[in-house]
Structure 1
Amino acid sequence: MPTPDEVRADLSAARDELAAALSAAPADTWERKPESGEGEDAWSAREAAQHVIGAELYYTNAVCEACGYDGPDSPFAGGLELASPAEAGAALTQAIAAADSKVQHVTAGDLERSHERMGPLPDVFESWTGHLRDHAAQITAAGG
């Protein structure tokens, strides 16, 4: 089983990949949708960014539910409308701060817990980091 520091380090690395993708995303292709694809595969970089940044709070809430913590306060009271890659980068910073205010408290004992729908907490963290990396790759591809 991973340690709390290991899951936080992997989460941080995945967030860094997303931040790099947002930083490199060209503003002129931000709204462009791929020529083919269905569902999430048909999203523009903007749509992918809005989804993945909002999901920071979804995953944080899942961790909090499993651990018995109160969930984070959302910095996005009116929802996410990210008009540019720069706005997305700023929103990611806000989402990370809200998430980390809770994730920093996860202990080794907490990692032995399970979420009712998502399973063992190490699996929740693995899903979270995979989600970040998948959408970082999608945003990178959309800029091409």
Structure 2
Amino acid sequence: MRDGYMRSDPKFIAWQSGHHPDPTDREQWWRPWHDVVASAVERGVVVRRARIVSEPVSEYIRFEYDITYQNIAAGEQVRWLPRRRASDLALPGNDFWLFDGRLVLWNHFTGDGELSPEGKEISADRAVVELCATAFESVWQRGIDHADYRV
């Protein structure tokens, strides 16, 4: 839900300098996260990622867009929602992952997009899970599939 994350990430810095991973050279970009996603998808788990973005997009979001083929290759479904189309949605205040409709993993970031000292937080509180599930479904329904979204 942010327009920039971890701007100190070496992959982002390399991208800013013109290095773009070769989509045909999987060893260049495949990471442990992709293994986790691919394994889950093989077991029949649906992995969806929704990104809420300001338009025109920031440089960091352009970077994310450019490397999203990696998420797709691992089996994720990805949608993009322009922030102006989310104004009437009730959204949690932090980025999150929702697992099996039972567990929320919050990601906490500093104002400049770095991982905060608090880092991550997990909640199994039913009301929190419901809030996140409802918010995510609202975003997903309005989101534009990665194949159709243009930055």
Query: Which TM-score band (shorter chain)?
Result: under 0.3
**TM-score, normalised with respect to structure 2:** 0.26
Structure with more strand by fraction: 2
Q: Larger relative CO (CA 8 A, sep 6+): 1 or 2?
A: 1
Structure with more helix by fraction: 1
**TM-score, normalised with respect to structure 1:** 0.27
